[in-house]
Copies of this chain bind each other. A is one copy, B any other.
Amino acid sequence: MATPNVEYTTSFTHTLRTMVKKLWTKLVKFTKFIKEIGQDDPRRFIHSFKVGLAVVLIYILHHFRPSFYGFGDNIIWAVLTVVIVLELSVGATLGKGFNRMLATWLGGALGVASNKIAILCGDKGRVVMTSIFVFVIAERVTFMRFSPKLKARYDYGMIIFILTFCLVSLSDVSGNELLEMAYERLLTIIIGSSIAITVCIFICPVWIGKDLHNKIAGNIEKVADFLEGFGDEYFNDTENSEDENNKEFLHKYKRALSSKNSEETMAVLARWEPRHGRFRFRHPWKEYLKIGNLTRFCAYKVEALSVYLHNSKTPYEYRSRIQEPCTDISMESGKALKEASLMIKKMSKSSSPKVHVLNAKNAAESLKSVLRTNPWEGADHLEIIPASTVASLLIDIVVCVEQICEAVEELASLANFVPSESLHRGVVQPISDSDGSVHVVSVA
């Protein structure tokens, strides 16, 4: 009997081992997955901690002062409020909190009124009247939610309004009892929202306005990275020798292509935020959307340009004839955007974007005059078309870059950026005159 028993034990330990091993790999995988989420944005760890903390806070408060809430069951409303209202950013939390408090107050008051009116109509009349009230309010407010303007700021409030109105007007109790109940619920929701807002603002706050600010600056920088690198990349005579891994800067701009929706959402939420850091309460958030849109238009052009990096290149012999002005345009445009992005990041006025835009415009003029000399005389038109398209797109991009820099300038004056020592020294390099002399104007 010993042998089968041993065999059984062995196979059992074997099964157990594989199971433990499997579980371990799964656990390792899961931990890795969690780590990745956190590494993308470490503030997520802090936010999760804050939610846990806020819920426990309410529990402790309830445990030591159960009389505080009037009656025990109401703790659920406070917990409900905290879990739903507490969002990652201060703007979203404040928006939801105010929406919830205001909507509960309005819905509750209207609900009590409709309840009183319905009672006046007798027993059967009450059912009819309540049905009508509830139907009309639910129908109308649901319809209002489709308005894009109202939806952006008050969508959550409108749901809560319907909800509260229905709860109060459908309630079985009435008279003073109803009033008391409504009052207590409003109180718990105010307490819940206040706890959520307090925790959100005072423990490592995440300001969505700042996020928007950084995002816009980041998008400009991504487009700038491409432009700065484009010249060397396109006029490179050798065939793609390096691997593509080192050329991440050529793809980063793609993120700017589809960020319109998130920028708009952020701008709406940012308007709820109070003064923080160097952002005033009425910071010109709309200006950021304008800059974002202009950056996106520039990114569309960059997208069109990027096609010519890879296929159907004009032979180097012809390409090289416009190399200098084209490299100058893309380099100076890139620098102008980098400086504009830096200006936003540091929130300081600076004249260096203008200087680089001027350089880029000069380089564009220089490119035009090169083109006027018919540099490709006698070449196959089909072969030079890619190069001439690159030239044309680059000339267009200078216009876009100028618009972006002007918008940033406008933001700087609207948001009272502080004038600062020039962040970098800029040098204007005009096209050499016909007599060959070169004027170099240094701007301090």
Contact = CB atoms under 8 A, between A and B. Distances in A.
A55 B138 contact: yes
B304 A59 contact: no
Contacts of A391: 385
Contacts of A56: 131, 134-135
Interface stretch (A79-87, A98-106, A271-279, A355-363): A79-87
B159 A83 contact: yes
A63 B127 contact: yes
A237 interface: no
Given A63-B127, A139-B51, A300-B303, A380 B389 contact: no
Nearest to A299: B300
A127 B368 CA distance: 78
Q: Interface centre among A80, A139, A167, by most B CB within 10 Å? A: A139
Given A374-B380, A393-B389, A55 B143 contact: no
B143 A62 contact: no
Interface in A37-55: 37-38, 40-41, 44-45, 47-49, 51-53, 55
A62 B166 CA distance: 13
A385 B392 CA distance: 7
A125 interface: no
Chain A, interface size: which category? 35 or more
Contacts of A261: 258, 261-262
Given A134-B59, A163-B79, A147 B37 contact: yes
- Kindly report how many copies of this chain are found in the complex they form together: 2
A33 interface: yes
Contacts of A301: 304
Interface string A27-42: 0000001100110110
B55 A135 contact: yes
Interface in A254-277: 257-258, 260-262
A60 interface: yes
Contacts of A162: 51, 83
A172 interface: yes
Interface of A: 33-34, 37-38, 40-41, 44-45, 47-49, 51-53, 55-56, 59-60, 62-63, 72-73, 75-76, 79-80, 83-84, 127, 130-131, 134-136, 138-140, 142-144, 146-147, 159, 162-163, 166-167, 170-172, 257-258, 260-262, 297, 300-301, 303-304, 307, 368, 371-376, 380-382, 384-386, 388-389, 391-393, 396
5 contacts: A34-B143, A52-B139, A73-B172, A300-B304, A304-B393
